[in-house]
């Protein structure tokens, strides 16, 4: 048991940034976690499936993506030490038209969402933890709207580099371009100008 908790220690350190958990809650949470290793450029979650697992990125890197008129669009990136889920499916129970794909060999901790929601009944502090986690994720999303709508592509590119300095070394520019909402040609022009 001690050993198992150790395996998920990074996840529980992440949780501690939000609130402290009783050992009962930690054990219960630990029991619904599983480890997943995925090589580079493979799907962690396929397009069309309903989101039934929340992932914590232990190491590596992935992106949420989908196809718009046949074009591959990156909705978001998830680096080490963050949670990733397709919330529009997780919270509605509907199939997601988005997938999650690794951009490096990666290791994840999967949290079974149905089991998690059942834990909420017995452990209010677990419900509270995830409430807080998703509240702050919601805030990030609200702030991103502002960034998309009222900053130029050049400003957004510079902002992305500031927030994720390693991204240029780890992510193809085509994904960065679609994440920024512009074409790869347009991103090339911006990079040439800077």
Partner DNA sequence: TCTATTATTTAACATTTGTAAAAGGAATCC
Partner DNA sequence: GGATTCCTTTTACAAATGTTAAATAATAGA
Residues that bind a second copy (CB under 8 A): 68, 73, 75, 87-88, 91-92, 120, 124, 127-128, 131, 134-139, 141-146, 148-150, 181
State in angstroms the smallest separation of the CB of 71 from DNA.
8
Contacting DNA within 86-125 (CB under 7 A): none
CB closer to DNA out of 44 and 190? 190
Contact stretch for DNA (CB under 7 A) within 3-11, 88-96, 126-134, 183-191: 183-191
Q: What secondary structure letter does DSSP report for 22?
A: -
Task: Please list the residues that pair with 109 across neighbouring strands.
Answer: 35, 56
Give the integer Cα–Cα distance in Å for 28 and 74.
34
CB closer to a second copy out of 35 and 152? 152
Contact 111, 32 (CB under 8 A): yes
State in angstroms the smallest separation of the CB of 139 from a second copy.
5
Q: Which residues have a Cβ under 8 Å from the Cβ of 119 and sit 6 or more positions away?
A: 25, 28, 29, 32, 126, 127
Contacting DNA within 152-181 (CB under 7 A): 152-154, 172-174, 181
CB closer to DNA out of 23 and 169? 169
CB closer to a second copy out of 107 and 125? 125
Using rule CB under 7 A, residue 61 touches DNA: no
Q: Which residues have a Cβ under 8 Å from the Cβ of 26 and sit 6 or more positions away?
A: 5, 12
Rounded to an integer, what is the distance from CA 34 to the centroid of its chain? 17
DSSP secondary structure letters along 113-172: HHHHHHHHHH-HHHHHHHHHHHHHHHHHHHHHHHHHHHS-HHHHHHHHHHH-TTHHHHS-
CB closer to DNA out of 39 and 95? 39
Give the integer Cα–Cα distance in Å for 97 and 143.
23
State in angstroms the smallest separation of the CB of 161 from DNA.
13
Partner from a second copy, DNA, none binding residue 36, C-beta < 5-8 Å depending on class: none
Using rule CB under 7 A, residue 192 touches DNA: yes
State in angstroms the smallest separation of the CB of 144 from DNA.
16
């Amino acid at each position: 048991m001690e050993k198992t908790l150790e395996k998920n220690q990074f996840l529980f350190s992440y949780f501690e940034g939000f609130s402290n958990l009783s050992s009962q809650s930690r054990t219960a949470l630990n029991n619904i976690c599983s480890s997943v290793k995925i090589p580079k450029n493979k799907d962690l979650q396929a397009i069309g499936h309903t989101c039934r697992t929340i992932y914590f990125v232990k190491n590596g890197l992935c992106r949420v993506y989908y196809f718009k008129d046949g074009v591959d669009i990156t909705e978001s990136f998830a680096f080490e030490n963050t949670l990733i889920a397709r919330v529009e499916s997780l919270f509605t129970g509907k199939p997601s038209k988005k997938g999650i794909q690794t951009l490096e060999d990666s290791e994840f901790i999967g949290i079974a969402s149905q089991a998690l929601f059942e834990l909420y009944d017995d452990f209010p502090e677990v419900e509270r933890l995830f409430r807080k986690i998703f509240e702050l994720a919601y805030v990030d999303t609200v702030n991103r709207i502002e960034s998309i709508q009222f900053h130029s592509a050049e400003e957004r590119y510079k902002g992305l580099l500031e927030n994720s300095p390693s991204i240029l070394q780890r992510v193809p520019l085509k994904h960065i371009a679609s994440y920024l909402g512009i074409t790869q040609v347009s991103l090339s022009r911006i990079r040439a100008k800077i």
